[in-house]
Amino acid sequence: MKFANGELALLNRQTLALRPNVRIKFKTIKQYIPPLVLFVCLLLQLTVRLQSLKSSYLVEELRQHALNKDAELRQVQFEYAALTSPNNLLKLAGEKLSMTKLAPQNMRKIQG
């Protein structure tokens, strides 16, 4: 399409606005709603996935902490069992408190 002065006319809004009896059709708000809803849904999905990923890292960190505490508890229980064994108590009583086994003839009965 050419104007009267010989310039080539492009079919853009400015060109159409210059032509008489041509109505410019602008997009209505209804045409913007579906892409906007899609964008919001995708944004929400991305947010949920990121939160899920963050939560899975936190769960893994807490699981590792629980495993470390469980190993620590087992070590303390083992030490307690070793320290409270009868043989170890006899040995410690002899070393720390200078206690010895009492012979039956050295026992005294106290009545009271």
The domains of the chain are located at 13-96
Question: Residue 27 corresponds to which tokens in the numbers above?
Answer: 């997009």
What pLDDT does residue 73 have? 98
CA angle 53, 65, 78 (to 5 degrees): 155
Report how far apart, in Å, the C-alpha atoms of 12 and of each of 5, 8, 16, 32 are.
Answer: 18, 12, 6, 21
Q: Average pLDDT, whole number, for the chain?
A: 83
What pLDDT does residue 21 have? 61
Place of tokens 């012979």: 103
In DSSP terms, 8 is beta-bridged to: 2
pLDDT digits (tens, 9 = 90+) for 78-102: 999 999 999 998 888 888 888 888 7
Contact 13, 19 (CB under 8 A): no
pLDDT in tens, the chain (112 residues): 555 555 555 555 555 555 566 565 667 788 889 999 999 999 999 999 999 999 999 999 999 999 999 999 999 999 999 999 999 988 888 888 888 887 888 888 888 6
Identify the three-state secondary structure at position 40: helix
Using CA atoms, how far apart are residues 17 and 23, in angstroms rounded to an integer?
Answer: 8
